[in-house]
């Protein structure tokens, strides 16, 4: 199991605290420092069953600078979104847990973290 975190994020810290309390074995990836490649982002999206715009923090300053709110959300624009996430990792929603069964969850709630633990 791996968790993508930003240590400054309270939801990330809560998720890590819950994983620790449950005695889970996991690897921490500080994705702002160890930036995921476009291929890794695509793989996580496949595991999540989501599209890149579904995990984009559209209220971040970089999102507004890029004008993401006006970008199409369709198959033809998917790679543009993936590239934006790889180039601006702060835009990636957090935390994301990749579970041992090959799935993944955006773990913003205790329930989502527990869901990942049960997989």
In terms of pTM, does the model score above 0.85? yes
Q: What is the predicted pLDDT for the residue at 53? A: 98
Say which of 1, 9, 32, 48 is annotated catalytic: 9
From the number of C-beta atoms within 10 Å of its C-beta (0-12, 13-18, 19+), residue 32 rates as middle
* Residue 103 confidence class, pLDDT cut points 50, 70, 90: very high
Query: Residue 31: is its pLDDT beyond 90?
Result: yes
The answer to whether 9 and 94 are in contact (CB under 8 A) is: yes
* Residue 119 confidence class, pLDDT cut points 50, 70, 90: confident
For residue 51, which phi and psi values (nearest 5 degrees)?
-105, 160
Residue percentage of the chain with pLDDT more than 90: 97
**Residue 9 is a catalytic residue:** yes
Helix (H, G, I), strand (E, B) or coil at 42: helix
DSSP 55-75: GB-TTSHHHHHHTGGGS--SG
């Amino acid at each position: 199991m791996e968790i993508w975190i930003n240590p400054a994020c309270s939801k990330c810290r809560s998720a890590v605290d819950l994983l620790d309390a449950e005695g889970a074995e996991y690897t921490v990836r500080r994705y702002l420092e160890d930036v995921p490649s476009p291929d890794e982002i695509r793989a996580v999206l496949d595991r999540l069953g989501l599209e890149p715009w579904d995990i984009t923090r559209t209220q971040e300053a970089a999102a507004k600078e890029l004008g993401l709110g006006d970008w199409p959300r369709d198959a033809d624009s998917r790679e543009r979104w993936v590239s934006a996430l790889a180039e601006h990792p702060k835009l990636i929603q957090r935390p994301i847990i990749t579970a041992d069964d090959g799935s993944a969850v955006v773990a913003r709630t205790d329930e989502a973290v527990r869901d990942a633990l049960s997989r």
